[in-house]
């Protein structure tokens, strides 16, 4: 399916729905042909199962007819010549034996869809032969019988009709072939008698046969629908399993591809850093004229540009390395207590000069008395640096950035970086969290960046068990919120011990923080 054939396709393929727009008469004819003839064009898996089920039911009740035949022959021996009885008994048992053999052959042989129609014809012909055999006593045994014995003949044949109606009720072609000829024979035989009671009996038999055929059609339709539904259910299950296996295979391929990508990026990034360090080192030497003056000033400027570009490329490689380690599950965090404000100040020390160049004011609203956090200081510094870098990039000249931190109602430490830049459209917020994805504003304004900052922040927050949330709208700026879970907030006695550096050594404080 996709995983995909829809349920409507399956129903159409199984010819479950009748065509619309035809006249009522044609619909009735089509329905009768479906019930009585099973047109070749409608062969399907469910019809094979339906016919197989019918044949198996015939074999289960196969001993019934020979027993009934023997009882009838024994009853008629009192007034019918023995030779005629033997002739009829042999013919009836031969027909029944042929019917059983035909059913057994059907189950033993493999059949194609086109052969189903032929088997239906053979089963109907065999049932017709049995009906003719049971009609013969009405004309062969009746002439030598009295009125009571004639009633016995009628009763036995009607009993056989009832038995066949019960056994073959879900298969209309075979039912009509067998019981139809017996019903016509009974009606004809009764019509030949001068007594009015036989005339009434013949009419009753015809009406009863019509009623049973109508009832059998309803039962056959129910049985057919049950087989159809089961066949469709089995097909749906097969398709779902196929799609599930296909999806699992694609998932494994994607995982392997992701691992290969991470290994490739890590390897290539490591190999690139070696020559890049040399380029940056020599360009800085030239720019600072450490081994003598550069006679051409343009060369010194070019060296500065080379060093600046090298620094940008090195930062990009480091981001790729960090992201590849996070995605590969190889980035581990080292827990130790730290102060939120100190991490914020570290980020400001690194990026404050760039903000001042653009006349951007950074307002810090972080209380120094906030509880300490337990986490990886290097990772948290990287989180704050990436978020402050993004805020600085997208804040216009003369704009403002607000950094705040507080405990929420659940005890988690929430740190917010809010700018008054252009903002991010709502439909792009999810996309900017994917690797190498950037917002439309950054693309149009050609703002530096590779789209790795927020994915790295999200990965590092996931390692801490925290959450990352972005609130933004075009023209209203962007607020990025990181929330460290409550179990990482050092409150209570444990926080008091860790806040006093004179109580224990650094190793003891870490032990208390981890086990407390």
Q: Where are the domains of the chain?
A: 7-242, 250-327, 336-515
Backbone angles phi, psi at 466, to 5 degrees: -100, -170
Q: Quote the crossing angle between the two packed helices 147-167 and 116-140, to the nearest 10°.
A: 170
Q: 414 — phi, psi (to 5°)?
A: -110, 125
DSSP 19: P
pLDDT at 405: 92
> 336-515: which CATH number, 1.20.1300.10, 3.40.50.970, 3.30.70.260, 3.30.565.10?
3.30.565.10
* Contact criterion met (CB below 8 Å) for 395 and 360: yes
Amino acid 55: pLDDT: 86
Q: Using CA atoms, how far apart are residues 459 and 330, in angstroms rounded to an integer? A: 12
Q: How far is CA 440 from CA 351, 422, 432, in A?
A: 24, 11, 10
Exposed / middle / buried, residue 329 (Cβ in 10 Å: 0-12, 13-18, 19+) = exposed
Confidence at residue 17, expressed as pLDDT on a 0 to 100 scale: 39
CA distance 108 to 96: 19
What local confidence, expressed as pLDDT, does residue 39 receive?
39
| pLDDT of 196 | 83
pLDDT of residue 303: 85
Residues 331 and 459: beta-carbon distance below 8 Å: yes
Helix (H) or strand (E) holding 418: strand 413-419
pLDDT in tens, the chain (516 residues): 333 433 334 334 334 333 444 344 344 434 444 443 433 434 455 667 777 878 888 888 888 889 989 999 999 998 899 999 999 999 999 999 998 999 888 888 776 666 777 888 888 899 899 999 999 999 999 888 888 888 888 888 888 888 888 788 777 788 888 888 999 998 898 888 888 888 888 888 888 888 888 887 787 777 777 777 777 788 889 889 999 999 998 988 888 887 777 677 667 766 777 788 888 888 888 888 888 787 788 888 888 888 878 877 777 777 777 777 777 666 777 888 888 999 999 888 888 888 888 888 889 998 888 898 888 888 898 889 889 988 888 888 888 999 999 998 888 999 999 988 888 877 777 767 766 555 555 555 445 555 677 888 888 888 889 999 988 888 788 899 999 998 888 876 555 555 555 545 556 555 555 554
Distances (CA, A) of 20 to 16, 17, 378, 446: 12, 9, 71, 59
How remote is the C-alpha of 99 from its chain's centroid? 47
Asked whether this chain's domains 250-327 and 336-515 adopt the same fold, the reply is no
How does pLDDT run across 266-312, given as a tens digit for each residue? Answer: 677 667 777 888 888 888 888 888 887 877 888 888 888 888 788 77
Centroid of chain to Cα 393? 43
Burial label, 402 (beta-carbon count in 10 A; 0-12, 13-18, 19+): middle
Could you read off the pLDDT of 109-135 as tens digits, one per residue? 776 666 777 888 888 899 899 999 999
The pLDDT assigned to 113 comes to: 64
Closest Cα partner for 348 from 399, 406, 391, 313? Answer: 391
> Under CATH, which architecture does the 250-327 domain have?
Orthogonal Bundle (1.10)
Q: Which residues contact 42 (CB under 8 A, 6 or more apart)?
A: 15, 34
pLDDT tens for 455-468 read 888 888 888 899 99
H-helix or E-strand spanning residue 77? none
- Let me know the angle formed at the C-alpha of 170 by 159 and 88, rounded to the nearest 5 degrees: 35
> Contact, 186 vs 139, CB < 8 A?
no
Contact predicate 36/117, CB 8 Å: no
- pLDDT for the residue 108: 84
Integer CA distances (angstroms), 369 to 302, 354, 408, in order:
48, 28, 15
Q: Which residues of 53-65 are buried (b: 16+ CB within 10 A; e: fewer)?
A: ebbeebeeebeeb
CB burial of 291-326 (b: ≥16 within 10 Å; e: otherwise) equals eeebeeeeebeebeebbeebeeebebbebbbbbbbb
- pLDDT number for residue 89: 93
344 within 8 A of 482, measured Cβ to Cβ: no
Element (H, E) at 475: none
């Amino acid at each position: 399916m996709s995983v995909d054939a829809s349920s409507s396709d399956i129903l159409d393929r199984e010819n479950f729905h009748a065509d619309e727009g035809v006249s009522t008469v044609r619909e009735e004819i089509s329905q009768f042909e479906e019930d009585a003839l099973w047109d070749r064009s409608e062969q399907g898996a469910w019809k094979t199962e339906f016919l197989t089920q019918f044949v198996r039911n015939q074999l289960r009740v196969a001993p019934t007819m020979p027993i009934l035949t023997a009882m009838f022959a024994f009853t008629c021996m009192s007034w019918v010549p023995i030779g005629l009885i033997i002739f009829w008994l042999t013919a009836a048992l031969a027909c029944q034996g042929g019917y059983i053999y035909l059913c057994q052959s059907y189950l033993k042989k493999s059949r194609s869809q086109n052969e189903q129609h032929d088997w239906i014809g053979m089963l109907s012909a065999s049932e017709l032969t049995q009906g003719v055999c049971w009609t013969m006593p009405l004309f062969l045994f009746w002439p030598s019988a009295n009125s009571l014995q004639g009633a016995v003949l009628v009763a036995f044949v009607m009993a056989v009709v009832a038995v066949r109606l019960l056994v073959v009720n879900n298969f209309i072609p075979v039912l009509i072939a067998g019981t139809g000829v017996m019903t016509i024979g009974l009606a004809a035989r009764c019509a030949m008698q001068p007594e009015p009671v036989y005339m009434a009996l013949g009419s009753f038999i015809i009406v009863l046969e019509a009623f049973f055929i109508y009832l059998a059609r309803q039962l056959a339709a129910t049985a057919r629908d049950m087989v159809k539904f089961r066949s469709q259910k089995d097909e749906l299950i097969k398709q779902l399993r196929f799609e599930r296996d296909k999806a699992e295979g694609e998932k494994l391929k994607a995982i392997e591809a992701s691992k290969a990508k991470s290994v490739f990026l890590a390897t290539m990034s490591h190999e690139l850093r070696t020559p890049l360090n040399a380029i940056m080192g020599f360009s800085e030497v030239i720019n600072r004229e450490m081994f003598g003056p550069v006679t051409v000033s343009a060369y010194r400027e070019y060296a500065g540009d080379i060093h600046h570009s090298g620094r940008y490329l090195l930062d990009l490689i480091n981001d790729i390395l960090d992201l590849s380690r996070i995605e590969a599950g190889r980035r581990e965090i080292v827990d130790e207590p730290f102060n939120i404000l100190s991490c914020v100040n570290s980020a400001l020390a690194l990026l404050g000069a760039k903000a001042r160049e653009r006349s951007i004011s950074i307002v810090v609203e972080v209380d120094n008395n906030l509880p300490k956090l337990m986490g990886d200081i290097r990772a948290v510094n990287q989180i704050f640096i990436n978020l402050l870098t993004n805020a600085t990039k997208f804040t216009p000249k003369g704009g403002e950035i607000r950094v705040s931190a507080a405990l929420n109602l659940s005890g988690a430490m929430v740190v917010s970086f809010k700018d008054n830049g252009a903002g991010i459209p709502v439909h792009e917020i999810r996309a900017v969290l994917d690797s190498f994805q950037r917002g439309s504003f950054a693309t149009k304004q050609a703002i530096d960046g590779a789209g790795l900052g927020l994915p790295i922040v999200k990965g590092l927050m996931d390692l801490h068990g925290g959450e990352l949330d972005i609130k933004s709208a075009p023209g209203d700026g962007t607020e990025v919120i990181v929330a460290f879970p409550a179990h990482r907030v050092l409150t209570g006695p444990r926080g008091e011990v860790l806040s006093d550096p004179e109580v224990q050594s650094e190793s003891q404080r870490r032990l208390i923080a981890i086990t407390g």
